Amino acid sequence: MNKRRILIVEDEQDIADLVSLHLGTLCDETVIARDGHEGLRLATSEQWAVIILDLRLPGPDGLEICRAVRRERAYQPILMLTSKSSELDRVLGLETGADDYLTKPFSVLELVARVRALFRRIENFQQTPKAANDGIVTAGGLSIDAESREVILDGQAIELTAREFDLLNHFARNPGRVFRRADLLDKVWGYGHEGYEHTVNSHINRLRAKIEGNPSEPEMIVTVWGVGYKFAA
């Protein structure tokens, strides 16, 4: 059995200790990196159940670390901590690929709930009877392998983050069905939060940029005006 370990990259000692204390109940071990150099080294060299990543760090910042991790492992859950909501655009932007985020000051109970939801989602996925997740879904040049979590588009492998994969997999297994943003938060993120709909929008945009021929006129994940999105197979 692999131990479930959580990496916390955070230079503010009080926050790091508090987060470590609370997340310690959800895993076998927490490891704290107190600057960007140590964070970058640990994040890219070892396996983590989730990485809690502060945006502003001495040395390489959270965005740089996030990018470096994604270059090596698309499927690595990352939860980003930001100090200002004005930084959210950067965190949510196409470039980073964080799976989730919280803005400081955040409630540590909220953080625990997010990480718990993330683990539950992964466990549900692993425990889903094989038939339900079976094999490969294909649609419009896309081939999605739920087991290996590989996505092929027109013969080319495409790199998706954990959340992007889950989102696409969810859509592709329910073609034609319209999902409200709140439904997607509930099903794919594992929690419902009013006011977090822009999280869904930004992940949809990132996904579109990776799979749509023309992301501004999407043909696969289409907007259902005033309602949400659907997968047009």
Binding piece for Ca ion, criterion CB under 5 A, among 8-16, 135-143, 167-175, 224-232: 8-16
Provide, rounded to whole angstroms, the least separation between the CB of residue 30 and Ca ion.
Answer: 17
Smallest distance, Å, CB 187 to Ca ion? Answer: 32
Q: Is 164 in the site for Ca ion (CB under 5 A)?
A: no
Map residues 95-114 to x or -, x wherever contact with Ca ion holds by CB under 5 A. Answer: --------------------
- Residue facing Ca ion at closest CB distance: 56
By CB neighbour count within 10 A (0-12 exposed, 13-18 middle, 19+ buried), where does 82 fall?
Answer: buried
Interface region with Ca ion, contact rule CB under 5 A, candidates 3-11, 40-48, 107-115, 216-224: 3-11
- Kindly write down the DSSP assignment for every residue of the chain, as one continuous string: ----EEEEE-S-HHHHHHHHHHHGGGSSEEEEE-SHHHHHHHHHHS--SEEEEESS-SSS-HHHHHHHHHHH-S---EEEEES-GGGHHHHHSTTT--SEEEESS--HHHHHHHHHHHHHHHHHHHHS-TTTT-SEEEETTEEEETTTTEEEETTEEE---HHHHHHHHHHHTSTT-EEEHHHHIIIIISS--TT-HHHHHHHHHHHHHHH-SSTTS-SSEEEETTTEEEE--
Using only C-alpha atoms, the chain has a radius of gyration, in whole angstroms, of: 17
- In angstroms, what is the minimal distance from the CB of 171 to Ca ion? 35
Could you give the string, one character per residue 174-213, with x where binding to Ca ion holds by CB under 5 A and - elsewhere? ----------------------------------------
> In this structure, is the dihedral angle defined by the CA atoms of residues 142, 156, 151 and 204, taken in order, positive or negative?
negative
Binders in 22-61 for Ca ion, by CB under 5 A: 54, 56
- Which of 7, 11, 74, 184 is in the footprint of Ca ion by CB under 5 A? 11
Considering only 7-15, 35-43, 199-207, 223-231, which stretch makes contact with Ca ion by CB under 5 A? 7-15
Give the residue with the Cβ less far from Ca ion, 30 or 169: 30
Min CB(83)–Ca ion separation in Å: 7
Return the number of the residue (54 or 166) whose C-beta is nearest Ca ion.
54
Give the nearer residue to Ca ion in terms of CB position, either 22 or 56. 56
Question: Applying CB under 5 A, which residues contact Ca ion?
Answer: 11, 54, 56
